Structure 1
Amino acid sequence: MYKLLIVEDVPLERKALRKIIQRQYFNINILEDAKNGIEAIEKAKLYRPDIILMDIRIPEISGLEAQKRIVKIVPNVKTIILTAYSEFDYAQEAIKNGVADYLLKPVRPEDLVKAIDLAIVSLTKAISVVGTGQSSAIVERDILKGVLNYIERHYCSEIKLNAVAEFAHLNPQYFSRYFKKEMGITFTNYVMKLRVEKAKRLLADTNYPIYRIAAELGFSDPTYFNKVFLKYEKQPPYKYKQTISK
């Protein structure tokens, strides 16, 4: 379970960030929010968060100054700075002070999720085998869990192996071999089988036409969707729907 601290002085924005994270992650414990820079430092000392969402323009001391002090307390923390466009130069300065990423406000949910995903992968890879007593195999399994969660959220889009390997900070060739070794199936086949399983659920639970199901699962061509479904289920989608309807 990862610990995340939100540092933001606007209540509505804190609530919005919290909702996005709670909706997307089961493995993140959101700590009590900090409303200013001083509170951020105090809560960092007390809770030692793994990830911080830090607004730059907060009362008492700025987010950048708070970050400078926090990183001395929690060196491995992954801080994601939230900044308005007019503060872009400050965001660039933040990168020099150990900030993992920065997002322009208003923050889009998909950008926030991507930044947190990358922070989690970075945290997982940075685990010290000696310091934690964890084996490298456990670290790799944690990375795989993160990858599978990423695929689950993006299977409806045109998801490519290279993009997922980049997300996991792994060489594409190594990632391809590792994924097949661990899952017993190639990356491409895993994604296609996942789409087919989602299609079966839609065929069973809705009256959507085939072309709509294909579109919702990221297939631009219904004919190709039919071929993929036939390959994995040995029958076309309409036959499958007829079978389960009986």
Structure 2
Amino acid sequence: MDAERFQDSVHGFLSCTQCHERFGENPHTTPANPVSAGVERIAREISRKAKVSAVALASCYKCHAEIYTQVLDSVHGKNIVEDGRTDGPLCLDCHGSPHYITPVSDRASPVNKWKVVRTCDKCHGNETLAKKYGIEPDVRETYLDSFHGQKHTLGLKKAPTCISCHGYHDVKSKNDPTSPVFGTNKIRTCGKCHKGANKKFVSAITHKEAGPIPRYAEKGLILLTMSVIAFTVIHVLLEAFSDIRDTFFRKTKEEEHEESEEQVS
């Protein structure tokens, strides 16, 4: 572990045993310290997910009890607790190593606004998981192709990302009536940014690939824009060439008149 990075993280003020409860001050002794009831309960529920220590993985509950409860009640948490699987993400899958977690406002954080789409895509863009759970593996691509995604790519801070619509720790299945993207709930969700959003409006917001008409319309507009730009550039270059030619290679009418007068005289 990098001690300096740990000190700079949001957990830098914690001692080792605050998370690794089974250990005493001497890490080389047998881990036999008692564990708090809440952490012990969570550790049992997520034991199949833990690669090393379920207690350490569950220790986030000590400081983040409300959030941890939301996670376990989410579609991600239920994958572990109720379905008995290990694909559902927990704290470390999204936030990274507990020793080096940085604030969400830090661009280095995997859940920062500018990185969270890529973080979600680690699972949602995985074809194996997509096939296993019947989800679309190209959600990141369809998002980036959308108006929201393009604004995000251009750096607009207010552009929505995954968590803006689907939620943070309490993400629900799109088939869950309590999900913000379930049925008519989308009207309220979209209405947070788009005042007056209605059923027809929200029906256009989807991760599905655009049909042929909008796709070809987009290509047509791009072609038209590029043609106008190319025409403008060519026009400017021709004008510049004409001015240069007239300045350096063509005699002005006054010069021609003077020469003709000299010849006459």
TM-score normalised over the length of structure 1: 0.30
Larger fraction in strand? 1
- Larger Rg, first or second structure (1 or 2): 2
